[in-house]
Structures are given as structure tokens and as C-alpha cells.
Amino acid sequence: MNLSHKITKILMGIILLGSTQVQAQQDPQYTNYMYNTVNINPAYAGSRGALSIFGLHRTQWVGLEGAPTTNSFSVNTPIQDSKLGVGLSFVNDKLGVINENTISLDVSYTIDLNQRDSKLSFGVKGSLNMLNVAYSRLNKFNPNDPMILHDISDEASPNIGAGIYWHNEKSYVGLSVPNFLENKRFENGTLYSAMNQRQHFYLMGGHVFEINPTLKFKPAFLLKAVSGAPLQADVTANFLIHDKLTLGAAYRWDAAWSALAGFQVTDGLMLGYSYDSETTKLGRYNNGSHELFVRFELFNKYRRVNSPRFY
């Protein structure tokens, strides 16, 4: 058994068989959070003024068996002639023998502040998480352990969340809690094996600086706080060249460095990629993390985009 395989077994053992509650950061991790905002903040729904369709694939810690893999798809749009926005998203997240599917519905309400075209949005999120755990795939030390005799299939956990989002043409700030309820993830009779859902608090923001007519600079940040885990801080610096090519770098505090790239193919189509390199000891046993995304937008005849929105 190689070392990466041993590490995976240890991680899965802690998560699945621990007698105490596991309190860790459970929401999927994104390097391209500035484009995938609706997944963590429902107030973002409809804020781009177009029907926005977004898809993302993330492969984390390549080469480490059982490492996380995330697929995310979302669509959101403003409702014409109203202050409402709606969104629908689906996330599939895999870690070893754990496979989770989450579907969410977002509704937002936007107020015009009449200050440099500023807008303030309030959003609510309703979600349903389906948990699957394939204990049968584990190499069991004790095959008769009652805690892992039966697989878990589509165990449902509903949840609610909320967020606020302020933005104008050059800046944005958002605060959100996607999951208010701390649901128990699974129980087996009187034998307790828990991986409870925890409240995640997100604070994010960014600003666009126009250096010259062909070059824009946007620093951005994302803070994520959850009980039982260290504060996670992401800081990103992107440059937009000729309103087409995006190049940048990011740092996840005490965790990883990232390189980001994106290309605005048309006003409505953007492609992007990022690569994360671990700065922790875990980086010795994997080949980094890859993230790919595509965003497609449809603008109505009354609103044409002059230059691509940077967030």
C-alpha cells in the first residue's frame, strides 16, 4: 500500500468511523469563487442582468486516491419588470466512498440605492442534500462492525440559507450563510457516527481598477468561517486584458497558491481554468488541483453589455 493510499484510508477512517463528531469545512471548495458566487450567496441571483448559466468541474489533490471531486451547475436570471431574481443550482461532491448531491433554489430581491448605480440585494436559499455512503467499498478491519454493515443511500437533509449582496459597476461585497440548519448527517440506531452539517459564514468582496483603456485589475477576497475549523482566507489578483483575456494568481492562507486564466470568447461566453499547488505537507503526496468552468449568458434585446462584467 503506497503512502497516498494510507493517507486516504486515515482520512476516511476519521470521517466515517470516528466516535466523536467531525467538525470540518464540508462545503465544496472553489478557487473561481468570484464567478461561482450564486452557490454560496443567494442574493447574487439575477444580479448580472442576464440569464446566466454556469458549469464547473474541480478535481482536488490529483494522484491522492479518494480525493475530493466536485461538479457544479447553476442557472440564474432576473425576472423582467420586477426587482426579483431566481436561481437553481446542482452540486455533486465526492470524497472517497461519500457521494453527495445538493439541489438549491435561490430567490433575491434588489433595491436601487441611486448612488453611482449601486444596488443592494437580499436573498434566500432552500436546498436539499442527498447523502450516499458506500461502506461496501471499504476494506473493513472488522466486517461485522454494525456501524458499517449497510450502505447509506439518498439520505435527505433539507436546509435554508440567506445572504446580502451590494454591488455597482466596479465593486461588490457579499455576506452569506448558505446553511442555517446543523443537520445530523447519519445515525445507526444507538451507535452514533456523525458528520454534522455546520453553518458556514462567507464574506467576499472585490473592486475593479482601470489601469488604462486596455488593462483592468481586480483584487478580490473570500473569507470562510465554520465551527471547528480554522478561518479560511482566499486572496486573488486578476488582470483583464483588452476585455478578453484574464490572468491572475491567488493565495489560500496556509493552504495553496493558485494560477488562474480565463477567456471571454464572446460577450455571452467565458471559459476559465485554475491550478492549485498545495503549500501544506499534503502537497508532497498529490499533483495539485484543477478547476475548469464555462459561463454562458443570454442578454435580452433591451440590455446589451458594453464590456464583459468582471464578477
Give me the DSSP letters along 37-61.
GGGT-GGGTTTTSSEEEEEEEEE-S
Q: What are phi and psi of 214, to 5 degrees?
A: -115, 0
Rounded Cα–Cα distance for residues 166 and 119 (Å): 6
Taking the alpha carbons at both ends of the chain, their separation in whole angstroms is 45
- Whether residue 122 lies inside any domain: the answer is yes
Please give the average per-residue pLDDT across 91-120, as a whole number: 92
Number of alpha carbons in the 13 Å side-chain half-sphere of residue 237 = 3
Amino acid identity, position 65: E
Per the structure, the complete domain to which residue 201 belongs is given by 3-253+287-298
pTM of the model: 0.86
Q: Does 13 have pLDDT greater than 60?
A: no
pLDDT tens digits, residue range 198-245?
A: 889 999 999 999 999 999 999 999 999 987 788 999 999 999 999 999
Rounded Cα–Cα distance for residues 276 and 292 (Å): 12
Q: What is the pLDDT of residue 144?
A: 62
* 141 SS3 class: coil
- Whether residue 262 lies inside any domain: the answer is no
| Cα three-residue angle 94-96-101, rounded to 5 degrees | 25
pLDDT tens digits, residue range 144-194?
A: 665 555 777 788 899 999 999 999 989 999 999 999 998 776 555 434 445
- Whether residue 123 lies inside any domain: the answer is yes
Q: What is the pLDDT of residue 164?
A: 98
Determine which of 81-85, 136-140, 270-274 has the lowest per-residue pLDDT on average: 136-140
Question: β-strands 200-207, 215-226: how paired?
Answer: antiparallel
**DSSP code at position 148:** G
Q: What is the pLDDT of residue 307?
A: 47
- Whether residue 192 lies inside any domain: the answer is yes
Of 158 and 143, the structure prediction assigns the larger pLDDT to 158
* CATH (domain of 215): 2.40.160.40
Q: Where are the alpha helices (DSSP H) in the chain?
A: 3-17
Among 136, 111, 134, smallest CA distance to 121 is for 111
Q: Does 21 have pLDDT greater than 80?
A: no
Q: What is the mean pLDDT of the chain?
A: 85
Q: Does 96 have pLDDT greater than 70?
A: yes
- Structural domains counted in the chain: 1
Determine which of 140-144, 191-195, 237-241, 260-264 has the lowest per-residue pLDDT on average: 191-195
Contact 28, 72 (CB under 8 A): yes
Rounded Cα–Cα distance for residues 298 and 51 (Å): 5
Q: Does 137 have pLDDT greater than 60?
A: yes
Which residues are bridge partners to 172 per DSSP? 167, 206
